[in-house]
Chains A and B, each alone.
Chain A
Amino acid sequence: MKNPYLPIPMVVRKASVETTDRMLRTLELSFLNEEDAKAFRFIPGQFCELSILGKGEAPFGIASSPTENGSLKFTINKAGVVTTALHHLEEGTEIGIRGPLGNGYPIDLFKGKNILVIGGGFAFTTLRSLIVYLSHPENRSRVKDITVIYGARMPGLLLYKEELTQWEKRSDLKLVVTVDWGDKDWKGKVGLVPNVLEEVAPSSENTYAVICGPPIMIKFTFPKLMALRFPNERIYTSLEKRMKCGIGKCGRCNIGHLYVCKDGPVFSYAQLEKLPKDY
């Protein structure tokens, strides 16, 4: 029997600060053992438990795409005991990881469809994974138009800035970046994500929407999607809940008869509608 609670060793290859408030840090990890690397197969939207021995474990969405070979990326917000420890990690340190966990985005459903990605703040991590995956030459032809709306409170709080610039140049991907408050160097859009969505007004025809962000953004964006006639079955989101085991045993991420860790974290609104609002 394989012990699903034992972390496998990885090493921090690169650690970089993402935002000007220094609260977000991206860790690039690579496997210590070849066989672990081979066995690790994931899709965008899945997550891992990162573990710092002596501090504990916490779940993080995988920010890198399966198409980026050899390493895994996680973007971590400094909040509690484990995340603070993760922020203090130096390059070259060994850490533990369990995963991939969860279901991931329904990539198969996306075939031949338009994809609308809406992200807010630091919830953009698994969306990055999705965008990189879908826009990879191998996969780009599988889906039709890709539209990305991404907002942050301030320009300094945008994640993956270099990549955003690159994406902007691409012709096969429409990217709209917005901030709540601009600063003197900011040339882009200023406005809240729900309003920008209304402005961009993507067609809901043959389109799947994937939305990830703070609860307040989701709350106001959702009605706009409804107004654009997106059916519940074609709106997907990724839930966050407190988790421990990550494999549907420990019980705390339970919503209705589902477990966010095992049956999620990605749910369609059609699914969520049937569940108690315990999230």
Chain B
Amino acid sequence: MGNEIEKTWEPKILAFLCNWCSYAGADLAGTSRIQYPPNIRVIRVPCSGRINPLFILKALQSGIDGVLVSGCHPGDCHYISGNYIGRRKSATLKRFLEYLGIEGDRVQFSWVSAAEGGKFSQVVGEVVQDIKKLGSKKRFVKKENSRSLGVEGQEKTF
């Protein structure tokens, strides 16, 4: 039974793609008919530096199994340095999640340029593989009507 669920389970992955490079890269993958796993849901953002770690955490809390943030290669940022700033946020957040005990690999980062349709598909493939290895996310997920732990046993009693 458990195995069957494991087999049929597909991770849900949220991808924040920068408007100028990675989103165009994903577009190119599409127009070039390069296949990649259908597990990702894309949100287009102006720049990978725009990503507030709060977005990533909110996604993880809402039951997303993994988050991918993708931006321009170093030096190629449309806003000159957004991706460098994003890089520091990503590095610290990833380490922090690992430290807390939420697998750091749930949050992944990549540089994908507008010309790299192939790389985009490859990155998505890798991310999906990584997340599949980790299995569905159980820690930190908000369950519907889960209003208990803070006041242990509240739901059943109060």
Check A-B contact in the complex, CB < 8 A: no
Give A residues with C-beta under 8 Å from B: none
Give B residues with C-beta under 8 Å from A: none
